[in-house]
Chains A and B, each alone.
Chain A
């Protein structure tokens, strides 16, 4: 499959009709079922990726979003050579990733928020030295890269402390440094801010942003953290149940998926909430303010109804915020293009 294909365009990542199926042995709790399973395992086919296609240019910072089990991590693992695809065409930097050629591996890095590469019982500097040897970095390059990264991450005083004595946020900084010492052209980030506090999250985000800009590195990131995506990714790929639902500018997400508008009403007098509920879905009541969401096409009617029937001091109509849309994506409520959310 495409082993000898040259990279003809500026596309760093090319994925066409990628399919990945897992065969999973179903496990049940009981002892008898366990025995039965040993004799004849109940296999189930899981379609993790169903025919997805996309391409990413050099220097792009792309966010993958979707609910749990949507196929985000599977995609990253295929791209970084950890998984064989079932079918389809995948090419990264001109290589077939799963060949795991040393020349390819030297140009990529995958950071998994939940799996550490730092040696737990030793100071991080030891892992860095090891990576220097593994990636065959000359002394001067190693020194320069390390200095830059430590500076960027503000991690100078952490290098010589045993890793297990560090906080999660400190460790994540060092994990990132360890993964970037060889200056990968492509960086895959799987939940890089998971478990971090707000301050540490922001630091990691700033770092990713800087790294992308400074080195024109291509970065593909999955996250459950809304801020990660809002802050970092201009382009997002929404994936659900192994299919790509949306691929484009973050702002266009609203046009694509926002099928509701938000009406904020300031009442001058208390009123019967039951009456209000007839008009639209009540999102929040914080008297005197009531927030309603109504289908886009019914916005005008709903607004005039409110104005006629309730003691309104003020009324505004807003677009559904991006956060809300992303939240719905995470919940898996957006499962098909151009359908509104069932209420």
Chain B
């Protein structure tokens, strides 16, 4: 049963990605003011959603590790693996957002980049999580997990402050697609459908990578623990 599910999920994900691509490029109607360039929106926004979701996974992992590191070492190790997987895959999706954004901005605004609230927040978020991954690379041993968890919490705490400060500074990004006032939201049902399929496809794709990364990290922890035990028995 488990094996079938494991084999089926990647297959469904790939089918969804193909379907999402078809919907975004061929089915969704052309936008009136931005024309074809608007289609990048079907990749840009789902990637941003997935990136933010995975950073939240990473935060939960960090909090879980600090909560359980004394009482339940097993859970703590699993939390740490989630924290790492969330941060790593989140950075990849965040990179996609940061690349697709300027591509669209060049067409729509005539400039590649602007220091607006959402752009700057995403960039700072990316910087924070890259520094988190660097810390994990530089610090060694079991204390690294604790240090990384602390930095993960600090980073997440910084995000709302970065966002508010940049909003006061300047804002140019289009209003949020959902919940951004009476004018927001996608009006055309065909566009909404294509958008929905793409969110689903990219979410599944992200989850697939996230699970693989988590699995690899758990194996890594297992081997490290085994090696440590062998070294102890030999000594």
- The answer on A and B forming one complex is no
Task: Mark A residues whose CB is within 8 Å of B.
Answer: none
